[in-house]
Structure 1
Amino acid sequence: MGTMLSGVATNRYYLFFLTVVLAILLAGLGSYGLAETSEARYAEISKEMLNSKDYLNPKLLGIFHFHKPPITYYITTVGYRIFGVNEFGARFFLQIAIVLQMALVYGMAQLLYNDRRIAITSGLVYFAMPLVLISSRNLTTDAYLTTFILGALYCWQYYTSKGKIVALYLFYVLVALALLTKGPVALLFILTYIIVYKIIFKRSSKISIHHILGFGLCLLLGSSWYIMVVMNNPGLWHYFVEKQLLSRIASHSFNRSKPFWFYIPLIIGLTLPWWWIIPQNFKRSTNKFLNIGREDRLLLISSVCLFLIFSVFKTKLVLYILPIFWMLAILVAVQLFKVTNATRNILNLAYAFLIGCLFLGILGLWLLKPEFIQISTATLVISIILVIVFVALFLYVDKGIPEKPAILGASFGVALILLSTSIMSHNGSTFNSTKEMIGFINKITPKENKTIVVYDYLLSSIPVYSGDNPITLKLRNNTTNREVQFQKNQEWKDDLWDINDAVMVSRLDSLTRSPNTYLIINKKRGFKDELKYLEPHFKNRQEFVKWLVLYNK
């Protein structure tokens, strides 16, 4: 088996592995609805961009939405053009991004360590990381940002190692694309790695004409969209700097403020069972920390610095630290070739335990049939097949080879992807999708003859499924606080009603008496006491997992 695995460590076999991964990522990709709020928001903005042909000014439900640069929207519109405006089209290029990341992880490991076995193991470990898999299931900027960051660093590393000028220009182009994906935050990941590399490897910075031209190209491309939208929208530059950059770093903006320690339990949980082998291996090393390999120090120090930087920032979401995980994956892969067989056996057993827990959880839910989630027989059958495959790998792959924990980890990643897709396809409402609810409304009333009203919550996916914008009733929920200062007229008020205003309450009173009107209320938040008198105006009601629909036929 060891001889066979030495043969497996080739570009050809890794390419085959990436092809299988892509097929697994695409399986059932369009079988579950768009999730509120982030995925639905990106999907709807891209749809409106495609329909309006305005690729400069992103809009959400008809209102300018300048929270993010446009690259994610552009990529999604391409998916729509190829596959139609649907879930598969929205998510397709996310899967391409994940596969590209795995190829780049392989390439980075190969450049740093010049060892194909380490490179392939790095890719396997990366695919075993749950956060990577989460990013493939939910349309946001993070998967694309990570791809551009990884691509830029690979080109920079290739230029540093091989001296190819074309790689230097590609580096600057990819940095520009990263800036057009999520703004200046992309530079933190890129510059941190480069600065740590130069310090550890004692490399001086030599500026050539190609650096100057490349930087100019990067500046031109990376700032192009910002310059154009600021020219068309006075005051937008202040909005970018104050609201979208500084407030995310230092203030409690967008209701995403988290404590300093927020990422600590997440890192531990999302890197299980890998995380403990790194400190364990360093501890048992006879050398001091500063005498470990320079490549190991590069990855470890870079990831720790980035972890601390993002811990200091007030605004935190779990996917913000996704661009750190490629470094952790390579670092883990390297340690697998250094630790003892006993340690690797513990990792093997850990994955056996995890796959067993996953199967028992699905079996238990299938038998108990709780109201909050449905486990289909097809999901159970898939889980049984996956357990059989895992057991075969566990028994067949030689326990003495360093790659075995990574192989088992990747198979666990496959199980997470296939099972989560199957579960979400049968539990859309549980996972915050409006597809089932709007499908119910569409069956009662044709798309063109109804009015959908959402109480104190922004449901961005409704137009994707209903064909028209809903009326959003604004009260106090943060999702309904829209940035309307850049609107050219007052048309936005047709779909955004401030019901703190007595005039709007009067309009709502009249609307609730009209036929083919649907009022959607979040069951957890309920309805304002002062407006409860409106409920009897509706003759029918239908409950979903998270929503109550009141309506008149």
Structure 2
Amino acid sequence: MSVPMRPDRFLDLLLAVVLIVLLFNLHLWVITTGPEGSIAEISRDMLARQNFMHPRLLGVNDFSHLPLPLWLTSLGMRLWGINTFGARFFIQISILVQVIFTYRIAMRLFGSSQVGLFAGLIYLSCPLVLACSRYLSADILLATFELAAIYYILLYHLEKLPAALYGLAIAFAGGLLCGGLHSLLLPITVGTYVLTFGPHNYGIHWRHGLAALIMAVGLTCFWFVHASHHLPDIWAFIRQTFWQDTFFGPPRHPRWQYAITFLLGSLPWWFLVLPNLASPVWQNPNVLPVCITWLALPLGFYTLTGSASLAALLPLVSGFSILVSYWVQFLTKQQVWRYSRWFAQIYGCLGMLAFMVPLGYQILGQPLQSTWPMVITALSTLGLVLLLYRFIRAGVRIRLVAMVLVPSFMLLLYGGYYTQANGPWKESANVVSQIIQQRQLESLPVLVYNEALPSLAFALNKDTITINDGIVNEAYFQTTQGWEPRWIRLGNPEDNLYLRRLMTDPSVLVIPGDLPDRWNWVKINYPEMEWAGRWQVLYRSQ
């Protein structure tokens, strides 16, 4: 008689397979403009200079990004090369670690390894998690430390293991070096629930607690002590980074997007939860406090302040996944069969649309390409949905998870091939770098007019020169000597002379949109011009 596999061993084997899938066509998702490009370029520059304590963006010292995401991104590039795969490698590792912490937290909350296993797999199947696996953001890495802090709070409160205090210290330090005060919000709200409604077990190992506190302070403060020697006003920087941007800064997204992203990013599991709100799950004393402290309060904070990226919702999706996994345990066999049929129909339709829409557009002569990898992946999605629905027994709960997880990963792979054929989902300077590389102009100086474009510098793996005509605000950057050759201010006569010398030699000029009339004279120096997206690429190769 065969011995059933333990849930933790099954999860380890599954995560090994998931890691291969996550990494499979990761290189097809190019780095986009915006914060993602800034992180990638700062990390590339750190690695190129072998200087990991003085971050620079486009040649200018820049301490506006906290260091841990930069170091991990640089390490990924050191392992796999300066490319998209290397830049996002530790994002994939981070997501797998989040799955493990989700599994362990669910086990501690509900005392069931099956609930923990389902929680980890449900989390992995959510659209927001899969979308974040193809993006480079400090908040994705931050989510790992937030979940780690919650886990170690639970572990110490329930089992009084001194090692949990040191784990908590590392989690807090890592969170502060990733996201500042944002990292404390979720651990504080969930920790308050644990201390208030959990077992009244308030004893603490004071020596270990003091040592853990010293460890957390030491791991966190060394960076700010270092930064204080390079910033003109360290306290103004801390107020801006840790206080103003967290509570009173301009919203990073429209406030309504947080709730909508949370709902859409955790589909299709709401189709299971909403019809069963009257389920006996509420009899468990952990369910309502988790809903309030883990979901409602943090989501309300992000909605009111607008101070986080949408990737900051990942820990909330983890908490929702834990609740859904507990909900699944109360479903009857008939309900499992019905919901698995719904999920099969949903993902079957998505697979059919992925196959038909690009192919139909291409037949009609519209600018949407359908490639063989796209066709094969879409048809494989349809085939796997049918196989899973037919061969997994109707009343088995794992059928629900499989009907969502497997086709979701197939559609993730499809998205990579779609991006390769039709361009990225968000604006990217990759189209500019392709022209420069195809024309073999990489060795020439690359000038960018009136736009900070770090994603282009990353794609070319070289420093670019920014021409500031009053739009880009270099006061945002923290500057020291040595940055002037990479940052030309047109109001400065010396910079104007330097620019004219550059333009009279072979070089490349990238212009967003149309060039102002007063600058039409520069076209005399550049006999060749091509459009790449919204940019003009002017160049002279000799």
TM-score higher than 0.5: yes
Name the SS of the counterpart of 1:550 in structure 2: strand
Q: Is residue 166–residue 212 contact of structure 2 (8 Å, CA) maintained in 1?
A: yes
Matched, 1:422 2:417: yes
Amino acid at match of 2:198: F
Task: Report the alpha carbon displacement of residue 311 of structure 1 after superposing the two structures with TM.
Answer: 1.1
Matched, 1:295 2:292: no
Task: Report the alpha carbon displacement of residue 410 of structure 1 after superposing the two structures with TM.
Answer: 0.8
Q: 471, 482, 488: which one pairs with 1:497?
A: 488
**Bigger mean CA offset, 306-315 vs 238-247:** 238-247
Q: In the alignment, which residue of structure 1 is the partner of 2:468?
A: 474
Partner Cα separation in structure 1 for residue 253 and residue 103 of structure 2: 35
Amino acid at match of 1:487: T
What are the residue-to-residue correspondences of 1:19-418 with 2, within 5 Å? 19-201=16-198, 203=200, 205-209=202-206, 210-243=208-241, 245-252=243-250, 256=252, 258-259=254-255, 261-282=256-277, 284-285=278-279, 292-302=283-293, 303-341=295-333, 343-344=335-336, 345-346=338-339, 348-369=341-362, 373-418=368-413
Task: Report the alpha carbon displacement of residue 494 of structure 1 after superposing the two structures with TM.
Answer: 2.2
Q: Is residue 531–residue 537 contact of structure 2 (8 Å, CA) maintained in 1?
A: yes
Q: Is residue 530–residue 537 contact of structure 2 (8 Å, CA) maintained in 1?
A: yes
Gaps spanning 5+ residues in structure 1: where? none
Q: Is residue 543–residue 549 contact of structure 1 (8 Å, CA) maintained in 2?
A: yes
Name the SS of the counterpart of 2:286 in structure 1: helix
Amino acid at match of 2:515: F
**Bigger mean CA offset, 18-27 vs 214-223:** 214-223
Partner Cα separation in structure 1 for residue 324 and residue 27 of structure 2: 33
**Bigger mean CA offset, 405-414 vs 437-446:** 437-446
Partner Cα separation in structure 1 for residue 122 and residue 350 of structure 2: 20
For residues 152 and 243 of structure 1, do their structure 2 counterparts lie closer, same or farther at Cα, with a shift above 3 Å needed?
closer
Name the SS of the counterpart of 1:461 in structure 2: helix
Partner Cα separation in structure 2 for residue 251 and residue 207 of structure 1: 38
Task: Report the alpha carbon displacement of residue 550 of structure 1 after superposing the two structures with TM.
Answer: 2.2
Task: Report the alpha carbon displacement of residue 296 of structure 1 after superposing the two structures with TM.
Answer: 1.3
Partner Cα separation in structure 2 for residue 293 and residue 426 of structure 1: 50
**Bigger mean CA offset, 25-34 vs 370-379:** 370-379
Task: Report the alpha carbon displacement of residue 196 of structure 1 after superposing the two structures with TM.
Answer: 1.6
Matched, 1:462 2:456: yes
Partner Cα separation in structure 1 for residue 143 and residue 249 of structure 2: 25
For residues 12 and 202 of structure 1, do their structure 2 counterparts lie closer, same or farther at Cα, with a shift above 3 Å needed?
closer
Amino acid at match of 1:353: I
Task: Report the alpha carbon displacement of residue 243 of structure 1 after superposing the two structures with TM.
Answer: 5.0
Partner Cα separation in structure 1 for residue 37 and residue 230 of structure 2: 27
Partner Cα separation in structure 2 for residue 414 and residue 482 of structure 1: 42
Task: Report the alpha carbon displacement of residue 169 of structure 1 after superposing the two structures with TM.
Answer: 1.3
* CA deviation vs aligned residue, 1:358-406 (integer Å, no higher than 9, x gap): 4313421133137654331211111111221121012222232233222
Percent of paired sites with the same residue: 22
Q: Is residue 278–residue 332 contact of structure 1 (8 Å, CA) maintained in 2?
A: yes
Matched, 1:548 2:518: no
* CA deviation vs aligned residue, 1:193-245 (integer Å, no higher than 9, x gap): 10022222263643431222212221221222112211343302212212553
Task: Report the alpha carbon displacement of residue 300 of structure 1 after superposing the two structures with TM.
Answer: 0.9
* CA deviation vs aligned residue, 1:123-151 (integer Å, no higher than 9, x gap): 11101111111221112212211112212
For residues 341 and 546 of structure 1, do their structure 2 counterparts lie closer, same or farther at Cα, with a shift above 3 Å needed?
farther
* CA deviation vs aligned residue, 1:303-323 (integer Å, no higher than 9, x gap): 111111111113342112222
* TM-score, length basis structure 2: 0.90
Name the SS of the counterpart of 1:30 in structure 2: helix
For residues 485 and 423 of structure 1, do their structure 2 counterparts lie closer, same or farther at Cα, with a shift above 3 Å needed?
closer
* CA deviation vs aligned residue, 1:145-187 (integer Å, no higher than 9, x gap): 1112212222222222222211221111121111111112101
Partner Cα separation in structure 2 for residue 438 and residue 238 of structure 1: 37
Task: Report the alpha carbon displacement of residue 536 of structure 1 after superposing the two structures with TM.
Answer: 5.6
Partner Cα separation in structure 1 for residue 517 and residue 260 of structure 2: 40
Name the SS of the counterpart of 1:294 in structure 2: coil
Partner Cα separation in structure 2 for residue 106 and residue 202 of structure 1: 21
Partner Cα separation in structure 2 for residue 536 and residue 476 of structure 1: 23
Name the SS of the counterpart of 2:379 in structure 1: helix
Amino acid at match of 2:245: S
Q: Is residue 63–residue 227 contact of structure 2 (8 Å, CA) maintained in 1?
A: no
Amino acid at match of 1:306: P
* CA deviation vs aligned residue, 1:277-301 (integer Å, no higher than 9, x gap): 435433x2479x6xx3122123211
Q: Is residue 251–residue 257 contact of structure 1 (8 Å, CA) maintained in 2?
A: no
Q: Is residue 366–residue 377 contact of structure 1 (8 Å, CA) maintained in 2?
A: no
Partner Cα separation in structure 1 for residue 314 and residue 280 of structure 2: 32
Q: Is residue 468–residue 490 contact of structure 2 (8 Å, CA) maintained in 1?
A: yes
**Bigger mean CA offset, 124-133 vs 494-503:** 494-503
